[in-house]
Copies of this chain bind each other. A is one copy, B any other.
Amino acid sequence: MEHGTTGRLEEARVLGQDPVGEDYRRLVLHVPGIAAAALPGQFVHLRVPGLDDRVLRRPFSIYRVKGDELLLLYKTVGTGTRAMNALKAGDALSVMGPLGRGFPLDRPDSVPLLVGGGYGAAPLSFLAERLAGPGVVFLGGRRAADVLCLDDFKRLGWEAKIATEDGSLGEKGLVTGVLDRWLDARPAGAPAGEIYACGPDGLLKALAGRAKDRGLTAWLSMDRHMGCGAGVCLACVIRVKRPDGNGGEIWARVCKEGPVFESRELVWEGAAS
C-alpha cells in the first residue's frame, strides 16, 4: 500500500491569497507538476521568500488541487507564516512536493470518518474529494473561526458534525465527544467506520485511544517540526513499533514514512515532544 508519489522541486507562481476568517489564509499556487502528482495527506515544503535569516522551509498539507493549481490553507503563527501573508499574485517561490505518504484511498468497505482540528481540516477536504463516496466529517476547534472547510464538505454531500470549545459553533466541547456519541448511536451490524484524522497531537492521541478501545482502524496525520522534508535530516522522527511485530520500537520519519500513520503503528510516549 503506497500512498506517496515521487517529489520534485518546482518553481511555483503565486496566483493569489485570501483571508479565511481572522487567522487563516488560502494561498493559491500555480505549480503544475506537483499539482498533478499530489495525493490527499501529502504535503509541500515551501521556501518562503524574503526570510533571509531563516534556513528552513515550511511544511503545509495540500488543501486542494484544481488542474495546475495547488491550494494551501494556513494559519499565521510565526515568522514564516507571517512572511507568507505578504505573498501576492505573480510572486515566485520554490516548492518541494508532493512529499510523504498520504491517506489510503483504497479501503472501500468501511464508512470514512474524517476528524479534523483547526487547519487539520485542509488535507481532509482534499481526501473527501478523492474518496469514492461521502462519509461523515467531524470538525473541531477552539471557536467557530477555527472550524474550516465546512463548505467544501457540504459541497461534496458530506454529513458534518461540529464541536467548538467555546460553543460558538456546533456542540460545545471537544470533537472527540461528538464522535463518541455518533459511534455509540451506530446500529449494531452497520459497516465499520474507519478514521482519517489530522489535527493537534492531543486530538490524534485521543483518537488512537478510541480506535484501540473500539477496534477501529485510524489513519492519523502527524505534525512534527521538519528540517529537510525529504527523509534526509532525521529531525522529524517519531517512535513506531517494529514492523516485524516482536515488540521493539524504531524511529520513523514523519516526512517520509508519514505524515499519515496507522494508529496502531505509533508509540505515543516516545513521540510526545
Contact = CB atoms under 8 A, between A and B. Distances in A.
Interface of A: 50-53
A52 B50 CA distance: 9
A50 B50 contact: yes
A53 B50 contact: no
A87 to B, nearest CB: 15
Contacts of A51: 52
A212 to B, nearest CB: 46
A48 to B, nearest CB: 12
A52 B52 CA distance: 7
A194 to B, nearest CB: 46
Q: Which of A51, A52, A53 has the most C-beta atoms of chain B within 10 angstroms of its own C-beta? A: A52
Nearest to A53: B53
Nearest to A52: B53
5 contacts: A50-B50, A51-B52, A52-B52, A52-B53, A53-B53
A153 to B, nearest CB: 39
A50 B82 CA distance: 13
A255 to B, nearest CB: 26
Contacts of A50: 50
Contacts of A52: 51-53
A223 to B, nearest CB: 26
A53 B53 CA distance: 5
What 3 pairs between A and B have smallest CB-CB spacing? A53-B53, A52-B53, A52-B52
A34 to B, nearest CB: 28
A86 B249 CA distance: 53
